[in-house]
Structure 1
Amino acid sequence: MLQRRNAGLALMGGALFLPTIVRAQGAMEMRTAALSAGTASLQSAQSGLRRASNPAVRQFAQLEAEEQMAAMEAMRMAGVTIPQTVSVPAEKMQAMQRMESMSGTEFDRAFLQSQLEGHQELLRIHSSIAQSGTSTEERIIGTMAVPAIKSHIATIEMLMTQQRG
Protein backbone atom coordinates (compact mmCIF):
# COMPACT_ATOMS: atom_id res chain seq x y z
CA MET A 1 0.00 0.00 0.00
CA LEU A 2 2.79 2.43 0.93
CA GLN A 3 4.69 1.62 -2.27
CA ARG A 4 1.59 2.27 -4.38
CA ARG A 5 1.03 5.58 -2.59
CA ASN A 6 4.67 6.63 -3.12
CA ALA A 7 4.44 5.63 -6.78
CA GLY A 8 1.27 7.72 -7.10
CA LEU A 9 2.99 10.70 -5.48
CA ALA A 10 5.97 10.27 -7.78
CA LEU A 11 3.65 10.23 -10.81
CA MET A 12 1.84 13.33 -9.56
CA GLY A 13 5.17 15.07 -8.99
CA GLY A 14 6.25 14.16 -12.51
CA ALA A 15 2.97 15.47 -13.87
CA LEU A 16 3.54 18.75 -12.06
CA PHE A 17 6.94 19.12 -13.77
CA LEU A 18 5.69 18.06 -17.21
CA PRO A 19 4.46 21.56 -18.24
CA THR A 20 7.84 22.97 -17.16
CA ILE A 21 9.66 20.34 -19.20
CA VAL A 22 7.45 21.00 -22.24
CA ARG A 23 8.00 24.77 -21.89
CA ALA A 24 11.76 24.23 -21.59
CA GLN A 25 11.76 22.07 -24.73
CA GLY A 26 9.70 24.70 -26.56
CA ALA A 27 12.06 27.43 -25.37
CA MET A 28 15.05 25.41 -26.57
CA GLU A 29 13.39 24.99 -29.96
CA MET A 30 12.69 28.75 -30.14
CA ARG A 31 16.30 29.53 -29.18
CA THR A 32 17.60 27.08 -31.77
CA ALA A 33 15.27 28.53 -34.42
CA ALA A 34 16.36 32.09 -33.55
CA LEU A 35 20.03 31.16 -33.74
CA SER A 36 19.56 29.29 -37.02
CA ALA A 37 17.55 32.08 -38.66
CA GLY A 38 19.97 34.72 -37.35
CA THR A 39 22.96 32.77 -38.64
CA ALA A 40 21.33 32.39 -42.06
CA SER A 41 20.62 36.13 -42.13
CA LEU A 42 24.22 36.89 -41.13
CA GLN A 43 25.65 34.60 -43.82
CA SER A 44 23.33 36.10 -46.43
CA ALA A 45 24.30 39.63 -45.33
CA GLN A 46 27.99 38.77 -45.61
CA SER A 47 27.31 37.58 -49.15
CA GLY A 48 25.43 40.83 -49.81
CA LEU A 49 28.44 42.81 -48.64
CA ARG A 50 30.60 41.06 -51.21
CA ARG A 51 28.20 40.84 -54.15
CA ALA A 52 25.51 43.55 -54.04
CA SER A 53 25.72 46.01 -56.90
CA ASN A 54 23.37 48.64 -55.45
CA PRO A 55 25.11 50.76 -52.76
CA ALA A 56 21.88 50.95 -50.70
CA VAL A 57 21.55 47.16 -50.77
CA ARG A 58 25.22 46.81 -49.76
CA GLN A 59 24.64 49.29 -46.91
CA PHE A 60 21.64 47.26 -45.72
CA ALA A 61 23.80 44.11 -45.84
CA GLN A 62 26.44 45.83 -43.68
CA LEU A 63 23.88 46.94 -41.10
CA GLU A 64 22.24 43.51 -41.06
CA ALA A 65 25.57 41.75 -40.51
CA GLU A 66 26.40 44.11 -37.63
CA GLU A 67 22.97 43.65 -36.08
CA GLN A 68 23.08 39.86 -36.24
CA MET A 69 26.50 39.83 -34.57
CA ALA A 70 25.21 42.24 -31.90
CA ALA A 71 22.10 40.09 -31.37
CA MET A 72 24.24 37.01 -30.77
CA GLU A 73 26.43 38.96 -28.36
CA ALA A 74 23.30 40.18 -26.51
CA MET A 75 22.15 36.56 -26.21
CA ARG A 76 25.54 35.57 -24.79
CA MET A 77 25.38 38.47 -22.31
CA ALA A 78 21.90 37.30 -21.27
CA GLY A 79 23.30 33.86 -20.49
CA VAL A 80 22.00 32.07 -23.58
CA THR A 81 24.45 29.37 -24.59
CA ILE A 82 25.57 29.90 -28.17
CA PRO A 83 27.03 26.76 -29.74
CA GLN A 84 30.30 26.98 -31.68
CA THR A 85 28.46 26.01 -34.85
CA VAL A 86 24.84 26.72 -35.67
CA SER A 87 23.22 24.71 -38.39
CA VAL A 88 21.34 26.41 -41.19
CA PRO A 89 18.62 24.39 -42.93
CA ALA A 90 19.72 22.79 -46.20
CA GLU A 91 17.18 24.72 -48.29
CA LYS A 92 18.56 28.03 -47.03
CA MET A 93 22.12 26.92 -47.74
CA GLN A 94 21.09 25.89 -51.27
CA ALA A 95 19.40 29.26 -51.85
CA MET A 96 22.56 31.07 -50.72
CA GLN A 97 24.67 28.90 -53.02
CA ARG A 98 22.36 29.75 -55.94
CA MET A 99 22.71 33.45 -55.12
CA GLU A 100 26.50 33.14 -55.24
CA SER A 101 26.24 32.39 -58.96
CA MET A 102 24.27 35.60 -59.57
CA SER A 103 25.54 39.11 -60.10
CA GLY A 104 24.28 42.66 -60.52
CA THR A 105 20.59 43.39 -60.11
CA GLU A 106 19.76 39.67 -60.31
CA PHE A 107 21.80 39.11 -57.14
CA ASP A 108 20.34 42.21 -55.47
CA ARG A 109 16.75 41.01 -56.09
CA ALA A 110 17.48 37.48 -54.85
CA PHE A 111 19.32 38.85 -51.82
CA LEU A 112 16.45 41.17 -50.88
CA GLN A 113 13.87 38.39 -51.34
CA SER A 114 15.97 36.10 -49.15
CA GLN A 115 16.29 38.80 -46.50
CA LEU A 116 12.55 39.50 -46.59
CA GLU A 117 11.71 35.83 -46.05
CA GLY A 118 14.36 35.53 -43.34
CA HIS A 119 13.11 38.61 -41.52
CA GLN A 120 9.52 37.37 -41.64
CA GLU A 121 10.75 34.16 -40.01
CA LEU A 122 12.78 36.12 -37.44
CA LEU A 123 9.71 38.23 -36.65
CA ARG A 124 7.61 35.12 -35.93
CA ILE A 125 10.34 33.61 -33.76
CA HIS A 126 11.16 36.75 -31.76
CA SER A 127 7.48 37.62 -31.29
CA SER A 128 7.05 34.18 -29.76
CA ILE A 129 10.13 34.60 -27.57
CA ALA A 130 8.91 38.03 -26.42
CA GLN A 131 5.62 36.45 -25.34
CA SER A 132 6.81 33.16 -23.88
CA GLY A 133 10.57 33.11 -23.43
CA THR A 134 11.66 31.13 -20.38
CA SER A 135 13.70 33.93 -18.84
CA THR A 136 13.24 37.65 -18.42
CA GLU A 137 16.43 38.17 -20.42
CA GLU A 138 15.10 36.17 -23.38
CA ARG A 139 11.79 38.05 -23.30
CA ILE A 140 13.69 41.38 -23.24
CA ILE A 141 15.78 40.35 -26.26
CA GLY A 142 12.65 39.23 -28.12
CA THR A 143 10.81 42.42 -27.21
CA MET A 144 13.70 44.59 -28.41
CA ALA A 145 14.15 42.55 -31.60
CA VAL A 146 10.54 42.80 -32.84
CA PRO A 147 10.45 46.54 -33.75
CA ALA A 148 13.95 46.34 -35.26
CA ILE A 149 12.88 43.41 -37.43
CA LYS A 150 9.73 45.27 -38.51
CA SER A 151 11.91 48.24 -39.44
CA HIS A 152 14.15 45.99 -41.49
CA ILE A 153 11.15 44.50 -43.30
CA ALA A 154 10.01 48.03 -44.22
CA THR A 155 13.51 48.88 -45.46
CA ILE A 156 13.75 45.68 -47.50
CA GLU A 157 10.34 46.32 -49.07
CA MET A 158 11.40 49.88 -49.95
CA LEU A 159 14.63 48.60 -51.54
CA MET A 160 12.67 45.98 -53.47
CA THR A 161 10.35 48.68 -54.81
CA GLN A 162 13.34 50.75 -55.89
CA GLN A 163 14.83 47.71 -57.66
CA ARG A 164 11.63 47.26 -59.68
CA GLY A 165 11.41 50.95 -60.58
Structure 2
Amino acid sequence: MNRRAIPLALAGAALLPVLAHAQGNSPRADVPPENLAAAPPERLARMLYEAGSFSHATAQIGAEKATNPEVKRFANFEIQEQEGVAQAMKLAGHDFPMASFGNDRGKMLESLRGANGADFERMFLEVQERGHQELLSLTSAIMAGNAPAPDKIAATLSNNSIKEHLILIGTMQGRR
Protein backbone atom coordinates (compact mmCIF):
# COMPACT_ATOMS: atom_id res chain seq x y z
CA MET A 1 0.00 0.00 0.00
CA ASN A 2 1.23 3.49 -0.78
CA ARG A 3 2.31 5.22 2.47
CA ARG A 4 0.39 8.35 1.49
CA ALA A 5 -2.82 6.33 1.24
CA ILE A 6 -2.54 4.91 4.77
CA PRO A 7 -3.93 7.99 6.59
CA LEU A 8 -6.84 8.13 4.15
CA ALA A 9 -7.57 4.43 4.62
CA LEU A 10 -7.38 4.76 8.40
CA ALA A 11 -9.73 7.75 8.37
CA GLY A 12 -12.23 5.85 6.24
CA ALA A 13 -11.98 2.77 8.43
CA ALA A 14 -12.52 4.88 11.53
CA LEU A 15 -15.80 6.23 10.13
CA LEU A 16 -17.34 2.84 9.33
CA PRO A 17 -18.30 1.92 12.90
CA VAL A 18 -19.86 5.36 13.36
CA LEU A 19 -21.88 4.98 10.16
CA ALA A 20 -22.87 1.44 11.13
CA HIS A 21 -24.01 2.53 14.57
CA ALA A 22 -26.01 5.43 13.13
CA GLN A 23 -27.63 3.39 10.37
CA GLY A 24 -27.99 -0.10 11.83
CA ASN A 25 -25.86 -3.09 10.94
CA SER A 26 -22.76 -2.45 8.91
CA PRO A 27 -22.87 -3.81 5.36
CA ARG A 28 -20.83 -6.96 4.98
CA ALA A 29 -19.43 -8.89 2.10
CA ASP A 30 -21.07 -12.32 1.65
CA VAL A 31 -17.87 -13.79 0.23
CA PRO A 32 -14.93 -12.75 2.38
CA PRO A 33 -12.66 -10.54 0.25
CA GLU A 34 -9.62 -12.52 1.39
CA ASN A 35 -11.06 -15.54 -0.46
CA LEU A 36 -11.07 -13.50 -3.67
CA ALA A 37 -7.88 -11.47 -3.21
CA ALA A 38 -5.68 -14.26 -4.60
CA ALA A 39 -7.60 -14.28 -7.89
CA PRO A 40 -5.77 -12.74 -10.85
CA PRO A 41 -6.50 -8.99 -11.09
CA GLU A 42 -7.94 -9.26 -14.60
CA ARG A 43 -10.34 -11.98 -13.41
CA LEU A 44 -11.51 -9.82 -10.49
CA ALA A 45 -12.01 -6.87 -12.84
CA ARG A 46 -14.05 -9.09 -15.17
CA MET A 47 -16.15 -10.38 -12.27
CA LEU A 48 -16.75 -6.80 -11.10
CA TYR A 49 -17.79 -5.77 -14.62
CA GLU A 50 -20.22 -8.69 -14.91
CA ALA A 51 -21.74 -8.08 -11.47
CA GLY A 52 -22.06 -4.38 -12.25
CA SER A 53 -23.65 -5.12 -15.61
CA PHE A 54 -26.22 -7.33 -13.91
CA SER A 55 -26.94 -4.63 -11.33
CA HIS A 56 -27.38 -2.16 -14.20
CA ALA A 57 -29.75 -4.49 -16.05
CA THR A 58 -31.90 -5.08 -12.97
CA ALA A 59 -31.89 -1.36 -12.16
CA GLN A 60 -33.18 -0.60 -15.65
CA ILE A 61 -36.11 -2.93 -14.98
CA GLY A 62 -36.58 -1.24 -11.59
CA ALA A 63 -36.64 2.21 -13.15
CA GLU A 64 -39.36 1.07 -15.55
CA LYS A 65 -41.55 -0.98 -13.21
CA ALA A 66 -41.20 0.40 -9.68
CA THR A 67 -44.21 2.28 -8.35
CA ASN A 68 -42.66 3.26 -5.02
CA PRO A 69 -40.87 6.60 -5.64
CA GLU A 70 -37.96 5.67 -3.32
CA VAL A 71 -37.38 2.39 -5.16
CA LYS A 72 -37.63 4.11 -8.53
CA ARG A 73 -35.15 6.82 -7.44
CA PHE A 74 -32.75 4.14 -6.15
CA ALA A 75 -32.98 2.26 -9.47
CA ASN A 76 -32.15 5.43 -11.42
CA PHE A 77 -29.19 6.20 -9.15
CA GLU A 78 -27.95 2.63 -9.60
CA ILE A 79 -28.13 2.96 -13.39
CA GLN A 80 -26.02 6.12 -13.25
CA GLU A 81 -23.55 4.58 -10.84
CA GLN A 82 -23.01 1.45 -12.89
CA GLU A 83 -22.58 3.48 -16.07
CA GLY A 84 -19.91 5.50 -14.25
CA VAL A 85 -18.13 2.37 -13.01
CA ALA A 86 -18.18 0.87 -16.52
CA GLN A 87 -16.67 4.10 -17.86
CA ALA A 88 -14.00 4.06 -15.14
CA MET A 89 -13.13 0.48 -16.05
CA LYS A 90 -12.71 1.50 -19.68
CA LEU A 91 -10.46 4.36 -18.61
CA ALA A 92 -8.49 1.83 -16.56
CA GLY A 93 -7.81 -0.09 -19.78
CA HIS A 94 -10.49 -2.79 -19.65
CA ASP A 95 -12.48 -3.48 -22.79
CA PHE A 96 -14.84 -6.25 -21.79
CA PRO A 97 -17.48 -7.49 -24.25
CA MET A 98 -21.13 -6.93 -23.40
CA ALA A 99 -22.09 -9.14 -20.46
CA SER A 100 -24.49 -11.99 -21.14
CA PHE A 101 -26.71 -13.34 -18.39
CA GLY A 102 -27.20 -17.06 -18.46
CA ASN A 103 -28.33 -19.46 -15.76
CA ASP A 104 -29.30 -17.85 -12.46
CA ARG A 105 -28.90 -14.24 -13.55
CA GLY A 106 -30.95 -14.76 -16.69
CA LYS A 107 -33.70 -16.46 -14.69
CA MET A 108 -33.68 -13.62 -12.18
CA LEU A 109 -34.07 -11.03 -14.94
CA GLU A 110 -37.07 -12.95 -16.28
CA SER A 111 -38.58 -13.20 -12.80
CA LEU A 112 -38.20 -9.45 -12.32
CA ARG A 113 -39.79 -8.75 -15.70
CA GLY A 114 -42.75 -10.96 -14.76
CA ALA A 115 -43.38 -9.48 -11.29
CA ASN A 116 -45.50 -6.42 -10.54
CA GLY A 117 -46.36 -4.04 -7.71
CA ALA A 118 -45.21 -4.80 -4.19
CA ASP A 119 -43.98 -8.27 -5.21
CA PHE A 120 -41.77 -6.70 -7.86
CA GLU A 121 -40.34 -4.13 -5.47
CA ARG A 122 -39.63 -6.76 -2.78
CA MET A 123 -37.90 -8.99 -5.34
CA PHE A 124 -36.03 -6.05 -6.88
CA LEU A 125 -34.63 -4.97 -3.51
CA GLU A 126 -33.61 -8.55 -2.67
CA VAL A 127 -31.80 -8.89 -6.01
CA GLN A 128 -30.11 -5.52 -5.53
CA GLU A 129 -29.06 -6.47 -2.01
CA ARG A 130 -27.47 -9.75 -3.14
CA GLY A 131 -25.83 -7.97 -6.06
CA HIS A 132 -24.43 -5.25 -3.84
CA GLN A 133 -23.05 -7.87 -1.44
CA GLU A 134 -21.25 -9.42 -4.40
CA LEU A 135 -20.01 -6.02 -5.56
CA LEU A 136 -18.77 -5.25 -2.04
CA SER A 137 -16.85 -8.54 -1.93
CA LEU A 138 -15.26 -7.85 -5.30
CA THR A 139 -14.29 -4.22 -4.66
CA SER A 140 -12.88 -5.18 -1.25
CA ALA A 141 -10.82 -7.96 -2.85
CA ILE A 142 -9.52 -5.63 -5.56
CA MET A 143 -8.54 -3.07 -2.94
CA ALA A 144 -6.73 -5.73 -0.87
CA GLY A 145 -5.12 -7.59 -3.76
CA ASN A 146 -2.40 -6.83 -6.26
CA ALA A 147 -4.61 -5.14 -8.86
CA PRO A 148 -3.16 -2.25 -10.86
CA ALA A 149 -3.62 1.24 -9.41
CA PRO A 150 -6.47 2.26 -11.80
CA ASP A 151 -8.49 -0.81 -10.74
CA LYS A 152 -7.85 -0.06 -7.06
CA ILE A 153 -8.94 3.54 -7.54
CA ALA A 154 -12.21 2.49 -9.20
CA ALA A 155 -12.82 -0.14 -6.50
CA THR A 156 -12.08 2.31 -3.69
CA LEU A 157 -14.49 4.89 -5.06
CA SER A 158 -17.19 2.28 -5.61
CA ASN A 159 -16.77 0.56 -2.25
CA ASN A 160 -18.25 3.31 -0.08
CA SER A 161 -21.16 3.86 -2.48
CA ILE A 162 -21.93 0.15 -2.34
CA LYS A 163 -22.02 0.29 1.46
CA GLU A 164 -24.35 3.30 1.32
CA HIS A 165 -26.59 1.46 -1.15
CA LEU A 166 -26.79 -1.56 1.14
CA ILE A 167 -27.93 0.71 3.96
CA LEU A 168 -30.52 2.35 1.67
CA ILE A 169 -31.79 -1.04 0.53
CA GLY A 170 -32.13 -2.14 4.15
CA THR A 171 -34.05 1.06 4.94
CA MET A 172 -36.41 0.53 2.01
CA GLN A 173 -36.96 -3.06 3.15
CA GLY A 174 -37.82 -1.77 6.63
CA ARG A 175 -34.86 -3.42 8.36
CA ARG A 176 -32.92 -0.30 9.42
The normalised TM-score by structure 1 is 0.79
Measure the CA separation in 1 of the matches of 2:86 and 2:68. 27
Deviation (angstroms), 1:25:
6.5
Other-structure match for 1:45: 59
Return 62-71 or 153-162, whichever deviates more: 153-162
Aligned residues of 1:37 and 1:88 also touching (Cα < 8 A):
no
Other-structure match for 2:48: 34
Deviation (angstroms), 1:89:
4.4
Other-structure match for 2:122: 109
Measure the CA separation in 2 of the matches of 1:116 and 1:87. 20
Which one has the largest radius of gyration? 1
Q: For residues 69 and 131 of structure 1, do their structure 2 counterparts lie closer, same or farther at Cα, with a shift above 3 Å needed? A: same
Q: For residues 29 and 123 of structure 1, do their structure 2 counterparts lie closer, same or farther at Cα, with a shift above 3 Å needed? A: same
SS at 2:110's partner residue? helix
Amino acid at match of 2:90: R
Q: 1:124 aligns with which of 129, 137, 141?
A: 137
Measure the CA separation in 1 of the matches of 2:147 and 2:77. 29
Aligned residues of 1:37 and 1:122 also touching (Cα < 8 A):
yes
Amino acid at match of 1:96: L
Deviation (angstroms), 1:112:
0.2
The normalised TM-score by structure 2 is 0.74
After the TM superposition, which residues 79-158 of structure 1 pair with which residues of structure 2 at under 5 Å, given as runs? 79-83=93-97, 85-158=98-171
Other-structure match for 1:16: none
Q: For residues 24 and 155 of structure 1, do their structure 2 counterparts lie closer, same or farther at Cα, with a shift above 3 Å needed? A: closer
Aligned residues of 2:41 and 2:148 also touching (Cα < 8 A):
no
Q: For residues 55 and 133 of structure 1, do their structure 2 counterparts lie closer, same or farther at Cα, with a shift above 3 Å needed? A: farther
Q: For residues 70 and 90 of structure 1, do their structure 2 counterparts lie closer, same or farther at Cα, with a shift above 3 Å needed? A: same
Amino acid at match of 1:82: F
Identity %: 30
> 1:91-113, CA deviations, whole angstroms, 9 ceiling, x for partnerless residues?
01101101111110100000000
Runs of 4+ in structure 1 off by over 6 angstroms are none
Measure the CA separation in 1 of the matches of 2:38 and 2:165. 30
* Count of aligned residue pairs for this structure pair: 139
Measure the CA separation in 2 of the matches of 1:120 and 1:51. 23
Measure the CA separation in 2 of the matches of 1:134 and 1:80. 13
Q: Which runs of 5+ in 2 are unaligned?
A: 1-36
Aligned residues of 2:55 and 2:131 also touching (Cα < 8 A):
yes
Deviation (angstroms), 1:130:
1.1
Aligned residues of 2:38 and 2:145 also touching (Cα < 8 A):
no
CA RMSD of aligned residues (A): 1.7
Amino acid at match of 2:112: M
Q: For residues 106 and 30 of structure 1, do their structure 2 counterparts lie closer, same or farther at Cα, with a shift above 3 Å needed? A: same
Q: Which runs of 5+ in 1 are unaligned?
A: 1-22
**Bigger helix fraction:** 1
